[in-house]
Amino acid sequence: MATTNDIKNGTVLKLEGQLWNIVEFQHVKPGKGGAFVRTKMRNVRSGKLVDKTFNAGLKIETATVDRGDYQYLYQDGADYVFMDTTDYDQITVPSAIVGDAANFMLESQMATIALHEGEPLYVELPPSVVLEITYTEPGLQGDRSSAGTKPATLETGYEIQVPLFVEQNTKVKVDTRTGDYLGRVS
């Protein structure tokens, strides 16, 4: 058991039988009344974001979450298979837990997987990855009807918006959190 004073970003709480990941927190000490902790929490299973306020010093139950580095091996139907690089154990993660990370994963890429009692909770990729564009229309100089961007398909099959000058077979850096184009990679 911990108290609300121990809350930090990334802490996983067990509330009403569900796991909640702390996204933001703020300790507040008003001039009048008792101190409290204002938090923004994400449900680990559903991804729902809620605001919750706790009184300062309140006892809360934290969940033990182990984060480890895993190598993505292959997709098996709707599931994804990862391997722990330290002991070569393989873990199967359902596509619902992998979520949008699947848009940016290539075989043999490293990812961080959070586990609670051996069950995968979520998959985290690095903030940006380098992927190759497999298809995009040629951009015409002077064509500014689309604000200077055009759709491009990455080697994972995901489509992003890129500037007009980016061509097919170009390696680009992509933000894994938003799917935004960050620049060309030589």
pLDDT tens digits for range 75-133 = 999 999 999 989 999 999 998 888 888 999 999 999 999 898 888 888 889 999 999 99
Q: How far apart are CA 89 and CA 96, in angstroms?
A: 21
Report field, pTM of the whole predicted structure over 0.85: no
Q: Which percentage of the chain shows pLDDT scores above 90?
A: 50
Mean pLDDT score, 25-49: 89
Domain 66-124 classified CATH 3.40.50.10490? no
Listed in order, strand segments (DSSP E) in 33-127 are 36-43, 49-55, 59-60, 66-76, 79-84, 90-94, 110-116, 119-124
Q: CATH fold of 2-60, please? A: SH3 type barrels. (2.30.30)
Dihedral sign, Cα of residue 139, residue 145, residue 147, residue 152: negative
Which residues make up the CATH 2.30.30.30 domain(s) of the chain? 2-60
Which residues make up the CATH 2.40.50.140 domain(s) of the chain? 66-124, 128-185
pLDDT tens digits for range 14-36 = 998 899 988 899 999 998 888 99
Question: Which class is 128-185 in CATH?
Answer: mainly beta
